[in-house]
């Protein structure tokens, strides 16, 4: 009994030992994301184009939503991604979403999975068939989790790995048992036994990987009875000691907001003038105190002491664009949220991170862009808040497919660099100021630092307010910059500095020419004679009119 207790303590210590994202922000950016973004960059212009270009070096998680993505040599597979990361001088951290549990997504249709407890004749899942899901669980273990363990174990000593486990699954069991597809014994066994197996296998055989379990978001589990049902499921599964914490807002649009001084700070219409009580989804009127993700963190801390949180900020840059916050599919008017960072200003929050890749569709409209009928149409993807439901909007592709119209709207509404905010404190009565003393005359006038700009990644207009760091403008359409120690892969213009003089173009060119405004990083050649391949950063170059290189680019001519 004593040795078993020690083993549990050891597992808990391993699960919570260190924030994996605290590695100098050395995080993996998948080349396949560059390829998708480049297709939209090529047809964008102005501020939208500049924002899309700046996103090329922003890391995001990679979803393992089918078994075929496990093995392979390309960066469209787990094995290929880890090979690519391991080949770098300083291998970056790679974040994966484990997402293929049997009877996946029992309360929706847009992303139903490939592994079933019982199959229909067309290969889809029969969610209503009675079974113990033994066959589906065997398939999940032997053809999905075990191969993942095999690949992860080969690279865990070389590449830092973060795993986010099965979004939406356990929250569905906590709140949607009124749906027979979720309450079916087969689905309940699939989720509880399958996810427990995954966590136990990863924690024992890939101990260097860090595990976060999906915990939906405050607009879903933020009611106390919902979070307690969720906790009861996890207690039954006996997995809490194996995970570092939870992932919230995965693939959703809930705002981060400001964290209140206490969980019940806004209850019963208290302190409604305080900015932390802002409630764009009107959740407080329904007795949900987790009206933003920052306050949902407080609820998670109350419920699961000692567990850490990562928050998906990929698409929550706008907080009040929906008529009904239950509408989760391709929300109209959404914007890119905060760039990944460990400087969250929130206790027990390891990082803001892009867990859902911005630009990938949540689900399809009833009619696909091709004109064919969507085989996995979900009513939520036809909601009044969903792109494609209004005349003049393009139809939405299937879940996970690139959605050009959406990524451009997300870029147009981006809020990637809000000023570094600390958790607010309760209002206090101001103290009586002391009698000011006569200041001494300084020998050399200095510009005082702007209050708050000692916070890393704070907004700035000049380096003088950055406490020794440099004020970089990251997107050419933005007036403000961000305090950073180094800058690469962005526009990286030092505010107040003289613009660089573009290097005169050379005339030599080899390889296939690239169309105007296309990515010429590999070919170095442009189709039009009056266009030149200018380098933006080590990761991006573009064919633009000769002599018009942006002030913030390196402007090195590639030829």
Helix (H) or strand (E) holding 169: helix 169-175
Does the annotation count 135 as an active-site position? no
**Parallel/antiparallel/unpaired status of strands 349-353 and 308-312:** parallel
Q: Can you say how many angstroms the Cα of residue 367 is from the centroid of all Cα atoms in its chain?
A: 28
Coil, strand or helix at 331: strand
Both structure tokens of 27: 């995080």
Q: Is 324 within 8 Å of 316 (Cβ atoms)?
A: no
For the purposes of burial, counting CB atoms within 10 Å of the CB of 48, is it exposed (0-12), middle (13-18) or buried (19 or more)? buried
Contact 110, 376 (CB under 8 A): yes
Q: Regarding beta strands 245-248 and 94-98, do their DSSP bridges make them parallel or antiparallel, or are they unpaired?
A: unpaired
Which is the catalytic residue, given 57, 84, 100, 105? Answer: 105
- DSSP one-letter code for 216: -
**73 catalytically annotated:** no
DSSP 3-state of 160:
coil
Instruction: Give all strands of the β-sheet with 556-557 in edge-to-edge order.
Output: 540-545, 531-537, 556-557
To 10 degrees, what angle do helices 2-15 and 185-205 make? Answer: 90
433 alpha carbon, distance to own chain's centre: 45
Catalytic residue, chosen from 100, 279, 362, 378, is 362
How many other CB atoms are there within 10 angstroms of residue 285's CB atom? 10
- Copy the structure tokens of residue 374: 């969507």
- The encoded tokens of residue 275 equal 């900015």
* Whole-number Å distance between alpha carbons of 30 and 84: 9
Ordered DSSP codes for 93-123? BEEEEE---TT-STT-STT--S--SSB-TTS
**What value does the CA radius of gyration of the chain take, rounded to a whole number of Å?**
25
Q: What is the per-residue DSSP string for 413-458? A: T--------PPP----PPPPPPPPPPPPPPSS--PPPPTTTTSTT-
**CB 263, CB 303: distance < 8 Å:** no
Among 168, 214, 279, 378, the active-site one is 168
d(CA 552, CA 487): 11
The CA distance from 260 to 282, in Å, is 16
CB atoms within 10 A of CB 72: 15
How many CA atoms within 13 Å lie on the side-chain side of 421?
A: 15
The owner of tokens 């997107």 is: 475
Tokens standing for 344? Answer: 């969250």
105 is catalytic: yes
Residues known to be catalytic: 105, 168, 362
């Amino acid at each position: 009994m004593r040795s078993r207790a020690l083993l549990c303590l050891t597992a808990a210590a391993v699960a919570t030992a260190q924030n994996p994202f605290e590695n100098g922000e050395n995080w993996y950016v998948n080349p396949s994301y560059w390829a998708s973004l480049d297709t939209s960059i090529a047809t964008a212009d102005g501020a939208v184009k500049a924002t899309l270009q700046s996103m090329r070096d922003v890391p995001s998680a990679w979803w393992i939503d089918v078994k075929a993505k496990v093995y392979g040599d390309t960066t469209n597979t787990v094995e290929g991604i880890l090979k690519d990361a391991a080949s770098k001088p300083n291998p970056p951290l790679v974040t994966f979403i484990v997402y293929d549990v049997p009877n996946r997504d029992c309360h929706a249709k847009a992303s139903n999975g490939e592994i079933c407890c019982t199959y229909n004749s067309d290969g889809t899942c029969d969610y209503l068939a009675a079974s113990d899901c033994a066959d589906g669980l065997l398939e999940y273990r032997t053809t999905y989790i075990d191969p993942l363990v095999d690949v992860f174990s080969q690279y865990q000593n070389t590449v830092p790995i973060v795993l986010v486990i099965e979004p939406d699954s356990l929250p569905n069991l906590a709140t949607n048992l009124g749906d027979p597809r979720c309450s079916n014994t087969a689905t309940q066994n699939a989720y509880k036994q399958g996810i427990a197996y995954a966590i136990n296998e990863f924690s024992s055989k890939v101990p260097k990987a860090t595990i976060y379990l999906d915990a939906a978001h405050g607009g879903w589990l933020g009611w106390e009875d919902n979070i307690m049902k969720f906790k009861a499921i996890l207690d039954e599964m006996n997995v809490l000691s194996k995970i570092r914490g939870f992932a919230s807002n995965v693939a959703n649009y809930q705002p981060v907001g400001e964290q209140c001084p206490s969980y019940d700070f806004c209850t019963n219409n208290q302190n409604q003038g305080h900015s932390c009580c802002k409630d764009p989804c009107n959740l407080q009127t329904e007795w949900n105190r987790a009206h933003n993700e920052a306050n949902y963190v407080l609820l998670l801390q109350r419920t699961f002491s000692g567990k850490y949180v990562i928050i998906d900020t990929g698409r929550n840059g706008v907080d009040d664009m929906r008529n009904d916050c239950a509408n989760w599919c391709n929300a109209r008017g959404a914007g890119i949220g905060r760039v990944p960072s460990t400087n969250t200003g929130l206790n027990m929050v390891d990082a803001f991170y892009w867990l859902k890749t911005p630009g990938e569709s949540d689900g399809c409209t009833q009619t696909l862009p091709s004109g064919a009928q969507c085989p996995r149409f979900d009513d939520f993807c036809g909601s009044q808040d969903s792109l494609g439901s209004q005349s003049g909007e393009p139809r939405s592709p299937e879940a996970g497919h690139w959605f050009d119209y959406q990524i451009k709207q997300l870029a147009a509404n981006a809020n990637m660099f809000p000023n570094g905010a600390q958790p607010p404190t309760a209002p206090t009565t101001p103290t009586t100021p002391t009698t000011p003393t006569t200041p001494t005359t300084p020998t050399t006038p200095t510009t005082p630092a702007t209050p708050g700009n000692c916070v890393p990644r704070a907004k700035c207009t000049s380096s003088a307010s950055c406490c020794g760091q440099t004020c970089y403008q990251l997107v050419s359409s933005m007036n403000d910059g961000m305090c950073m120690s180094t800058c690469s892969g962005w526009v990286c213009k030092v505010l107040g500095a003289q613009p660089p003089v573009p290097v005169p173009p050379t005339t030599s060119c080899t390889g296939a020419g690239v169309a105007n405004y296309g990515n010429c990083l590999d070919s170095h050649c442009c189709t039009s004679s009056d266009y030149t391949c200018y380098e933006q950063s080590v990761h991006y170059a573009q064919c633009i009119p000769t002599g018009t290189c942006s002030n913030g680019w390196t402007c090195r001519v590639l030829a």
